[in-house]
Amino acid sequence: MAYSIAIERTSAPKTKPEVSRIGFGTIFTDHMFMLDYETGKGWHSPRVVPYQPITLDPAAKVFHYGQTVFEGLKAFKTADGAISLFRPDMNFRRLNRSNDRLSIPPLDEELALAGLKTLIGVDADWIPAEEGTSLYIRPFIIATQPTLGVAPSRNYLFMIILSPVGAYYAEGINPVKIHVESDYVRAVPGGVGNAKTAGNYAAGLKAQEEAPQGYSQVLWLDGVHRKYIEEVGSMNMFFKINGKVVTPALNGSILEGITRDSMIRLLTHWGVPVEQRQISIDEIAEAHRDGTLEEAFGTGTAAVISPVGELHWQGEKLVIGGGKTGELSARLYDTLTGIQRGTEPDPFGWMVRL
């Protein structure tokens, strides 16, 4: 279906930054996508407009009750100069699952993708081409009805903003040290842990702040037993134990990562056994003790893979793989980033060309 998306181009294009200095999420392109929702009228008025601040009534529900969801994905300039997106259909499907949990009306996924493609077409010059770089895409929805009653909003705004990002591992893949959190919890069954919604992240900041010096992120345990591995900040967790890969099963309280799904598919394709199940922190500590904990890594859109070189659990330091990047982690990283850059075959048809 063809959608009619209005385009208003900026009259004052910004100077593009030097790619070696852009970091993550600090610089935004010249345009953004907007789509409005009103009860009775539905989603309407898709448009690309110059990037600019938005005006909201101070009573807008998003400010008071957090009715909001977001997504994160990437576009790449491939080795042959084309522009492609990594599995964007998965992101918009997940956005609708988050919408459902937050009582936000569903979005036409095709329209969202058409809007994204139009926006990227307008800002195509902003996509860096250097190896390891990409265009980070942040779609999000906010409740805008200006009333303080606790009820689903009657008005919403869907937006997409774009941010060029530098190479995450400009100095080579660096394993991270992670603190296993034993006091705070992130989510509970029946809650919103499997929705990409703002409150999950605001509620996690304190644990991150209080983590001991040197541990930049925390690994969450389940909120009921305080025993089973859930996930890290914005990454799903994988462990390689005795030749087998294990990752927590989707239990309703962890986020269903698209990178997680991609890793499971790649591993299965290679004939590496993958188990999705409950994994207790005790099992990890035991595997570490008996020398069968071979690798640990987190997966997410931003870093693709973040090897874990050390886990800090109840005062104990579990060093994994000598604190170095494991062989399988490196192979997964090289393969997935190769597929994204178009230097490796794409057997699953993940890349969507503009």
Residues near ligand PLP (CB under 6 A) are: 72, 196, 231, 234-236, 255, 257-260, 299-301
Whose Cβ is closer to ligand PLP: residue 34's or residue 203's?
203
Sequence-distant (6+) residues with CB within 8 A of 136 are: 24, 25, 72, 73, 74, 162, 163, 164, 165, 301, 302
Q: How far is the CB of 199 from ligand PLP (least distance, A)?
A: 12
* Structure tokens, 341: 């850059």
Which is closer to ligand PLP, CB of 144 or CB of 259? 259
Of 258, 285, 270, the residue nearest 328 (C-alpha) = 270
Q: How far is the CB of 23 from ligand PLP (least distance, A)?
A: 18
Give least dist CB 146 to ligand PLP, A: 28
Q: How far is the CB of 68 from ligand PLP (least distance, A)?
A: 13
CB atoms inside a 10 Å sphere around CB 74: 21
| Owner of token pair 């993940």 | 350
Which of 299, 325 has the CB closer to ligand PLP? 299
CB of 58 to ligand PLP, least distance (A): 28
Query: Between residues 164 and 248, which has the closer beta carbon with respect to ligand PLP?
Result: 248
Shortest CB 138 distance to ligand PLP, Å: 11
CB of 316 to ligand PLP, least distance (A): 25
Q: Are 128 and 19 in contact (CB under 8 A)?
A: yes
For residues 91 and 70, give the distance between their C-alpha atoms in angstroms, rounded to a whole number. 10
Radius of gyration from C-alpha coordinates of the chain: 21
CA dist 187 and 252 (Å) reads 9
Q: Using the minimum distance from each CB to ligand PLP, give the nearer residue, 46 or 139.
A: 139
Interatomic CA distance for residues 316 and 339, integer angstroms: 38
Cβ–Cβ under 8 Å, residues 248 and 237? yes
Number of H helices, E strands in the chain: 8, 18
Choice between 118 and 234, CB closer to ligand PLP: 234
DSSP state of 71: -
Rounded CA gap, 335 and 115, in Å? Answer: 29
* Closest CB to ligand PLP among residues 60, 180: 180
